[in-house]
Amino acid sequence: MDVGGQGDHRSRFEFSGASRPGHDAAGPTKPEPELKSGRFTGDDLLGQAIGRTRDYLLSQQHEQGYWVAELEGDTILESEYILLLAFLGKTDTETARLAGNYLRKHQTPGGGWAAYPGGPLEISGSVKAYFALKLVGHSPDAEYMIRARDAILAAGGAEKVNSFTRFYLALLDIISYEQVPAVPPELILLPSWSPINIYEMSAWSRTIVIPLSILWAHRPCHPIAEEHRIDELFVNSPQELPASMGSSETLDDMQSDTWLDWDKFFRRVDAGFKFLERNRIKPLRKRALKKATAWMEERFAGSDGLGAIFPPIVWSLIALKCLGHDDDSPDVVRAMNELDKLMIRDEDSIRLQPCKSPVWDTALTTIALRDAGVSADHPAIRRSAQWLLSKEVRQAGDWQTLNSHLQPAGWFFEFNNQFYPDVDDTIMVIMALRKTLPPEHEAEFYAAYSAFDGEMAAVISGNKSLKSAAVSQVESVRPVLEAINRGTRWVLGMQNSDGGWGAFDVDNNREILTRVPFADHNAMIDPSWPDITARVVEMLAQIGFSKEHPQIIRALEYVFEHQETDHCWFGRWGVNYIYGTWQTVVGLREIGVPAHDPRIEGAVDWLKSTQQSCGGWGETPQSYDDPSLRGQGEVTPSQTAWALLGLLSAGEENSVAVQRGIDYLIDTQLPDGTWDESQFTGTGFPRVFYLRYHYYRLYFPLMALGRAAALRAGK
């Protein structure tokens, strides 16, 4: 069975004990921690802390087998929801009023609104929040509104908002469509072999751009009452706003030098599209709209709304209205219901989540519970495995357009999002499913199954007396093994040409697209990143790949090439260098890179150097804008756990740094087994959008404490 596509190379899923620290060919050499009266033997304080968090998480499992916690974003979600309601003529509702209350609560002392707690004023979010508050009846003469207005003007005024905010302003007649970036629906007609086409955009951008193109073609406008206008937020006036977008301050620098100024080039293209639009020169418009509409509607199926995330759901709803759908049409009702599902209602406010994270939360909770000594046979673990298996993707998606040979597999992030499985969720689910196998033979089960491609005649450890039991047990976990097999093949097929992995597509790295006028969300492409790449390596190591496998050799070359000069690694999907360094060290150690390797030693020294006086670790999202802040920020349980996990994997379990980190987690744990964490440690789009995963404060500390206890118990 050639899983790696490398021809005659030894590429089956071989269990190579030499490549995995702490293991040999017979399985783990260190016994799993034994649960006795809710604690690990030999360390009462550590065992009690583990037991409390373990019991809390077990109590939070849903009957169907999954875990999911709130996924918190910043206030643009509530603001944009109110702006959507204004377009639909529904701001005079209790829902709109309660969303306004949430905005009011989250205004910063300086008067604006920030992208994360403690962050600086974010101009687009602040303009939208002020506008939304006016729309739901807040007086511009109120003290907090005056404070907001002054802060916005001091930051450059509404002239500084991003492209997506301009679209909302055009929807509500504050500016004209000449002043928003052109998003012509004809983009969808560009073939996949073209240097610029929708499949060269990141998956999340693609699901926004298509409905936006329908909107741009129809140019809907819902004029609002004069008292609701926000002309006072402009330093000059809405009419004087330039037609073209200026250079974005939130975009990362391009990695490749180029002789052409792509910002200027695309601004000229933008002007050209608008010229054609003004002069009604659009011979392909009807065909393009028909194809864009079909593309969008096709992706409603099997998904919690288009892309299963807030922005494309909103834009698709507006696109449906442009296409003539009434409020009671099935597609409009369905989209509104998906937004309703993202709401969390308190007594006096409503907040919205950008999406839901059950697959991610369930996989990580499963791993954490197993690390905490919960048996693979525990009912909670069995239910978790069954639920995760039910979420496997078995149909083609967008990723297949440029990767047509690869068979459908993988997992997504949300409850339903069949068109968009992603590498990160898939590898996390595979690692979770592996931990649901019978622990005494999990390595042999998978090696035996994969080596014979499903033939059940394997004899574990060569002992004929075990043959019958082995076949029976392998048969009982066949669904898990087959899912791991399919998912691994899919992940291997998603490796980029540079040796790394991105999230949703292969070689989605055309940097010039980051310079189009509507790309200022800093996530127009989905290239390789060290954190995902190292996690893939970790997963492959756990199911038996060795570091001599050609695809792992390329992955390691990519990871080492992207180590920073001070020996840490950048984190794309978590804040930030602590996240990237933890994950990369773990992946390298799993595949067999020795702890004395200078690159590992350098990373360990960096993690130790960023430990704070309390024993914990923390890093602000501001480190994305100012890398000199890497490893600095308010201490959090999740980031402390990440640092501990990195150090533990590097053999530092007896170090003072690890003991101080463990002490910090034990000392700050609450009586119910949880920790307080108000900071945003998840990353949506670096420099633009951040997340607070409400379970990060639970399952990552549990993993760290559980692994520390396992190492102690094995000595």
Write out the catalytic residue numbers.
424
Residues in contact with 337: Cβ distance below 8 Å, sequence separation at least 6, in sequence order = none
CA-closest candidate to residue 573, choices 701, 428, 429, 702: 428
Category of 157 on φ-ψ map: left (φ > 0), alpha (ψ -120 to 50) or beta? left
Rounded to whole angstroms, the maximal C-alpha distance in the chain is 85
Q: H/E/C letters for each residue in 438-454? A: CHHHHHHHHHHHHHCCC
The residues that bridge with 633 in the sheet, in sequence order, are none
Q: DSSP code of 281? A: -
CA-closest candidate to residue 94, choices 418, 330, 348: 348
CB atoms within 10 A of CB 48: 16
Residues in contact with 155: Cβ distance below 8 Å, sequence separation at least 6, in sequence order = 112, 121, 123, 126
CA 631 to each of CA 505, 532, 533, 635: distance values in angstroms, whole numbers, following the listed order:
30, 19, 21, 10
Q: How far apart are CA 552 and CA 523, in angstroms?
A: 27
- Three-state DSSP at 595 gives coil
CA 43, distance to chain mean position in Å, is 35
The residues that bridge with 298 in the sheet, in sequence order, are none
Q: Which two tokens stand for residue 365?
A: 């909770």
Q: At what angle do helices 94-105 and 123-135 cross, to 10 degrees?
A: 140
Q: How far apart are CA 289 and CA 304, in angstroms?
A: 23
CA 97 to each of CA 92, 128, 163, 349: distance values in angstroms, whole numbers, following the listed order:
8, 15, 26, 8
The residues that bridge with 374 in the sheet, in sequence order, are none
